[in-house]
Structure 1
Amino acid sequence: MSELITAELVDLDLSAETKDAAARSLAERMVASGRVTDLEGFLADVAAREAQMPTGLDGGIGIPHCRSAHVSAPTLAFGRCPAGIDFGAPDGPADLIFLIAAPAGGDADHLSILSTLARHLMDEEFTGALRSVTDPARAASLIRGEEPEAETGKAGPEQTEPEAAPASEAEAEAAAEAESADASTDTPALASAQAAAPRPSAGEPAPDALESESPAPDAPVSETPFRIVAVTSCPTGIAHTYMAAESLEKAGKAAGVEVVVETQGSAGFERLDPQVVADADGVIFAHDVEVRDKDRFAGKPTVDVGVKAGINRPAELIAEVRGKAERGEASAPARDAAPMDKGGDAADGFGTRLRKWLMTGVSYMVPFVAAGGLLIALAFAIGGYTIDKAPSVADHFIWTEATSWAALLFQIGGVAFGFLVPILAGYIAYGMADRPGLVPGFVGGSIALTINAGFLGGLIAGLLAGGVVMAIQRVRIPPVLRGIMPVVVIPLISSAIVGFLMFLVIGKPIAALQKALTDWLSGLSGANAIILGVILGLMMCFDLGGPLNKVAYAFAVGGLANPNEGSLKVMAAVMAAGMVPPLAMALATTVRSRLFTKTERDNGKAAWVLGASFITEGAIPFAAADPLRVIPSAMAGGAVTGALSMAFGCTLRAPHGGIFVVPLIGQPLLYLVAIAAGTCVTTGLVILLKGMHRSRDARQEAAADTAEEGKVTVAA
């Protein structure tokens, strides 16, 4: 923390009575040192931050802080107020006040200052040294963590205080011991704190001796200590996050409890090892924002409190969670995962994890697809297929002309569509590496657009970005740098690496492959087109909205970014096949209702609307109840529809909409014939298979009844 605080920024006799007055007094020192340009503007920012959450901590500490446009350099000012000032701490006024100022764009500086100070403030010897220090220069040196200049008995011309020299032989001996510790310790701030800390009186055992004292030979030794996992988080910065973590870890050591903490800071987090979570005997949540991935900890004894409780009363929290464990109390079990994620855990293979990463990207991309695609489709419906040649509406817009409105819709949709590849790449990386993956993911996706690598390039860029960030996160770093890693170091390094690879190494080959794929789709005709339609139909109906369905859909949508005859045929086949399963189940429940339960018949009514709207998931309730009959039937119908759509040469410019975008479909009547044919095939197969199953069950019941009657006759 060099240069963040100097002697001029230290006031050891702060005479303020309120927190506003204390902030003003310290801020005036910052203005005098040229680090704050506008006193009133800066104080307004401090007050706004204070209004969000009190910055007082137990132990007599206040840490008002803010980011402000009126700060020219990261700065820390320290004031000591013997009378105490109320900063909202539960245990009363604060006598140690730290005012932290960071530039408006200096998130990394802000986080670094707070995290470094947070670690020091959890050290009682450090705060004790600040309460006893008499020289502002030494106070600044202590806070910076540098080797301080010892406060010796060499009095200056004006120094006449008797305490310059030890008042007794015992104190002289204590001072000598302090000097020895000061010379041997590895941490200057800690050493100086030890030098200033009070020593035990004569005849009282030293703390070190108590800590090093061996347990009695007969004392029972637990081979497996009580294990706790904790999550700490706060809404702004990382000060409270890291202070709570440090406090819980120290209290755990004092209680003989193994505590492992996951700090969910303001810029991403590193998940605890799943095995550590599985082996834990209890959980502590000390947080002021929602705990991410909370379901990992479900089913264990849990204490859930605010982050300040983790700082102020860690021993109580540990005792509370141990008590819950002894009583067998546990949190509610985890909620059911989505179908694609059920059964997933840390032991999932690479294929399973890859599927989840890709699905994350696709799920975030779909809303942009729907918004942009439907706006473009409406534009074509209103203004015709030449609307893409219209000038920018920013330069030419006539309120009374329909073509101008069509151009407006087309251009808004085009902007939304322009996000598809960056969103896909960014959220694939997010699925792999959490928030630190977003920046390189978006950068890689944008580069994919720049070099015409398209949808395929975005997919590769997302995987690259996530992999690079995961590799960087494996590097061990000093705790002081943890705060700036997610917001400065990781985005900088990962973006540079991903950009280099996309521009100069793999981008051009991917762009060439994308062009070859586009050309192939453009030339599809005859048997090749029909085979592709069959494959796409099977994929759309295999898992009814699951991974394979989304892969086929994403493949079709990717082609709309640079549309041609082939890609428009693919989009038409995919949507047609996706409409078949819910429509077929709705028809089956209408034609042969006695084969279905009342609940299924009710679901069938809703499936008419879902199928017509291209929501394949409308068939999931039927597939879940009878997968061996419903899914193969749906796949057969989807394959027929996909093949017919391709054979008829149907095209579609809208990525969604079902029958509501029929006017935008090439060969619309034949398109409806293809959907009807697939629906009838699936309906017929479902009725046939369910009827055979019901007949077999009836025969088995009849045979059982006959056998029972025979037994009764013999007995008679």
Structure 2
Amino acid sequence: MKFVAVSSCPTGIAHTYMAAEALEQAARAAGHEITVETQGSAGLSPLPAETIAAADAVIFAADVEVRDRGRFDGKPLVDVGVKRAISAAADVISEAEQVARESAAVMAEAGAPGTSPVAPEAEPAALATKVTPGAGVGTRIRQWLMTGVSYMIPFVAAGGILIALGFMIGGYEIVDVELSSVVEDFNVFSSTSWAALFFHVGAAAFGFLVPILAGFIAFAIADRPGLAPGVVGGALALAVDAGFLGGIAAGFVGGFTALWISRIPVGKALRGVMPVVVIPLVATAVTGLVMLVLLGAPLSAAASGLENWLTGLTGANMVLLGALLGLMMAFDMGGPVNKVAYTFATTGLAGAATAADSTNLIIMAAVMAAGMTPPLGLALATVVRKRLFSRAERENGRAAWLLGASFITEGAIPFAAADPLRVIPSIMAGSAVTGAMVMGIGNTLRAPHGGIWVIGLIGQPALYLLAIVAGAVVTAGCVIGLKSLRRVPDPEDAAVAVGA
């Protein structure tokens, strides 16, 4: 059979592409053809209309609304979440086979032709929200926030790593080099010039973090009319030193203001200028008023209090914060709770002091290490006690080494989906140990991502690796111990044993 599929997750990063790969492998193993469209952060390459028309069934592996869904109208459909496509891809393919057969049988009975009409061409890819229509209030709030985070992450990665490279090449004193000297006196053969260039470009990228976060929260709420008030509100949050808390508030204020204005009934004469002039004008003015006059001072005080609290952390308090961040990073492996901890670290990184011992740099190091631990610990467990894991889990374990080393926590999802009651507590324990150790040791990290590949940017790298290894060992030990209490044989392994 021939299938087409669409995969998409709230952030459009790891889950999206892992689901696509799992479906492709399962389809090949079953002797079918499949073409997957990934609607992720790397952009959208729409499936050709003729490919859709020739498909026997469609698979949606999505936790958010599929873009241009109308292209697939009339096709048999299997609609599942991303995590199920990752952990049970073979079952999803079997369901697609079933719905395709049932549809073919119905068409045969009705005397309908065996081929479907050509699907309409997809519209050009555009900015997309991560919000599911009709979802509950709590779900929508989470998805509004995740939309802002997903569009913010490229600025975090680019800006953070460029700043880190600047410090690595030129030292922390590179902040004293003026931007004008880069423009006027740049020397291709000078390491100081390159360091200053990287630092200033990275700082410019980091300067967009809060405005982009706010702008796309507002965009998720009110679509395009929310962008201008959201971005401006985010910039004002920075101007009054309200930080990322102010950015979140600005996103909601700008989004709901734009949404409210867009729903006001107006005459035909004004409809054309409403989205271009009236909504951005009024919504931006109202958002500015709220941010500067009403919320600016209290949010600035809250952000300052949070910064002072972090700066004042020492000893046991640092260790406890590291453990908490570790628990959050492992709890849902790339989901909302994980992203809250990651966003907390990266937005703190954007405003971190330049000193090498800044608390914000230590928090970033703890978050990345705790996010690396779950896949590495589970990979270790599949090596130490193979018989406790199914053949598919052992295959996933081999991939988890690279995923964990690259700070892709989602590498633990297949294990957690298959056995959540044993795996999730185990990985949380390991990540809590790693986070606590990193905070206790005082490792620092300027890069917001990269895993083992940015080891040169990590303070005390040997001890950092030791903390990760310790957490991975705890994870492996816990999951082996819990699985040993009740061993469930893998049917594939049993079949092999009987055949032998």
Secondary structure, aligned partner of 1:506: helix
2:177 is equivalent to residue 390 of structure 1: yes
C-alpha distance after superposition, 1:595-643 (max 9, x if no partner)? 2222222221111111111111111111111111111101111111111
Is the 2:326–2:435 contact (alpha carbons within 8 Å) kept by the matching residues of 1? yes
Please report how far the alpha carbon of residue 294 of structure 1 lies from its aligned counterpart in structure 2 after TM superposition: 7.3
CA distance in structure 2 between the partners assigned to 1:430 and 1:631 by the alignment: 34
CA distance in structure 2 between the partners assigned to 1:394 and 1:431 by the alignment: 38
Task: In structure 2, give the amino acid aligned to 1:643.
Answer: A
Q: Which runs of at least 4 in structure 1 moved beyond 4 Å after TM superposition?
A: 293-304, 331-339, 344-347, 695-698
Match of 2:95 in 1: none
Is the 1:299–1:334 contact (alpha carbons within 8 Å) kept by the matching residues of 2? no
CA distance in structure 2 between the partners assigned to 1:682 and 1:600 by the alignment: 16
Q: State the TM-score, normalizing by the size of structure 1.
A: 0.50
CA distance in structure 2 between the partners assigned to 1:586 and 1:683 by the alignment: 8
How is 1:225-624 mapped onto 2 (pairs within 5 angstroms)?
295=66, 332=77, 336=81, 348-392=135-179, 393-564=182-353, 565-624=358-417
Gaps of 5+ in 1: 1-292, 305-330, 702-716
- Distance verdict in 2 for CA 1:403–1:349, change over 3 Å: same
Is the 1:295–1:334 contact (alpha carbons within 8 Å) kept by the matching residues of 2? no
- Distance verdict in 2 for CA 1:295–1:554, change over 3 Å: closer
Task: In structure 2, give the amino acid aligned to 1:532.
Answer: L
Task: In structure 2, give the amino acid aligned to 1:602.
Answer: E
C-alpha distance after superposition, 1:50-104 (max 9, x if no partner)? xxxxxxxxxxxxxxxxxxxxxxxxxxxxxxxxxxxxxxxxxxxxxxxxxxxxxxx
- Distance verdict in 2 for CA 1:507–1:400, change over 3 Å: same
CA distance in structure 2 between the partners assigned to 1:681 and 1:610 by the alignment: 18
Task: In structure 1, give the amino acid aligned to 2:139.
Answer: T
Picking from 633, 637, 650, the partner of 2:430 is 637
- Distance verdict in 2 for CA 1:450–1:299, change over 3 Å: closer
CA distance in structure 1 between the partners assigned to 2:74 and 2:272 by the alignment: 26
Is the 2:83–2:413 contact (alpha carbons within 8 Å) kept by the matching residues of 1? no
Please report how far the alpha carbon of residue 455 of structure 1 lies from its aligned counterpart in structure 2 after TM superposition: 1.3
Match of 2:471 in 1: 678
Match of 1:667 in 2: 460
Secondary structure, aligned partner of 1:348: coil
- Distance verdict in 2 for CA 1:298–1:408, change over 3 Å: closer
CA distance in structure 2 between the partners assigned to 1:619 and 1:679 by the alignment: 12
Please report how far the alpha carbon of residue 337 of structure 1 lies from its aligned counterpart in structure 2 after TM superposition: 5.8
- Distance verdict in 2 for CA 1:485–1:535, change over 3 Å: same
Please report how far the alpha carbon of residue 581 of structure 1 lies from its aligned counterpart in structure 2 after TM superposition: 0.5
CA distance in structure 1 between the partners assigned to 2:230 and 2:139 by the alignment: 21
Please report how far the alpha carbon of residue 588 of structure 1 lies from its aligned counterpart in structure 2 after TM superposition: 1.1
Please report how far the alpha carbon of residue 336 of structure 1 lies from its aligned counterpart in structure 2 after TM superposition: 4.6
Match of 1:328 in 2: none
The structure whose Rg is larger is: 1
Please report how far the alpha carbon of residue 347 of structure 1 lies from its aligned counterpart in structure 2 after TM superposition: 5.0
Please report how far the alpha carbon of residue 417 of structure 1 lies from its aligned counterpart in structure 2 after TM superposition: 0.8
Secondary structure, aligned partner of 2:183: coil
Q: Which has the higher helix share?
A: 2
Is the 1:298–1:334 contact (alpha carbons within 8 Å) kept by the matching residues of 2? no
C-alpha distance after superposition, 1:32-64 (max 9, x if no partner)? xxxxxxxxxxxxxxxxxxxxxxxxxxxxxxxxx
CA distance in structure 2 between the partners assigned to 1:558 and 1:470 by the alignment: 27
Match of 2:118 in 1: none
- Distance verdict in 2 for CA 1:357–1:301, change over 3 Å: closer
Is the 1:298–1:333 contact (alpha carbons within 8 Å) kept by the matching residues of 2? no
CA distance in structure 2 between the partners assigned to 1:338 and 1:444 by the alignment: 35
Is the 1:422–1:446 contact (alpha carbons within 8 Å) kept by the matching residues of 2? yes
- Distance verdict in 2 for CA 1:446–1:297, change over 3 Å: closer
CA distance in structure 2 between the partners assigned to 1:545 and 1:496 by the alignment: 36
CA distance in structure 1 between the partners assigned to 2:149 and 2:197 by the alignment: 27
Task: In structure 1, give the amino acid aligned to 2:349.
Answer: L
Task: In structure 2, give the amino acid aligned to 1:383.
Answer: G
Is the 1:299–1:333 contact (alpha carbons within 8 Å) kept by the matching residues of 2? no
Task: In structure 2, give the amino acid aligned to 1:551.
Answer: V
CA distance in structure 1 between the partners assigned to 2:74 and 2:477 by the alignment: 56
Picking from 612, 617, 626, the partner of 2:419 is 626
Please report how far the alpha carbon of residue 544 of structure 1 lies from its aligned counterpart in structure 2 after TM superposition: 0.1
Please report how far the alpha carbon of residue 418 of structure 1 lies from its aligned counterpart in structure 2 after TM superposition: 0.9
Please report how far the alpha carbon of residue 302 of structure 1 lies from its aligned counterpart in structure 2 after TM superposition: 5.2
Match of 1:96 in 2: none
CA distance in structure 1 between the partners assigned to 2:189 and 2:67 by the alignment: 57
- Distance verdict in 2 for CA 1:515–1:396, change over 3 Å: farther
CA distance in structure 2 between the partners assigned to 1:425 and 1:376 by the alignment: 23
CA distance in structure 1 between the partners assigned to 2:319 and 2:72 by the alignment: 58
- Distance verdict in 2 for CA 1:297–1:607, change over 3 Å: closer
- Distance verdict in 2 for CA 1:450–1:298, change over 3 Å: closer
Matched residue pairs, number? Answer: 379
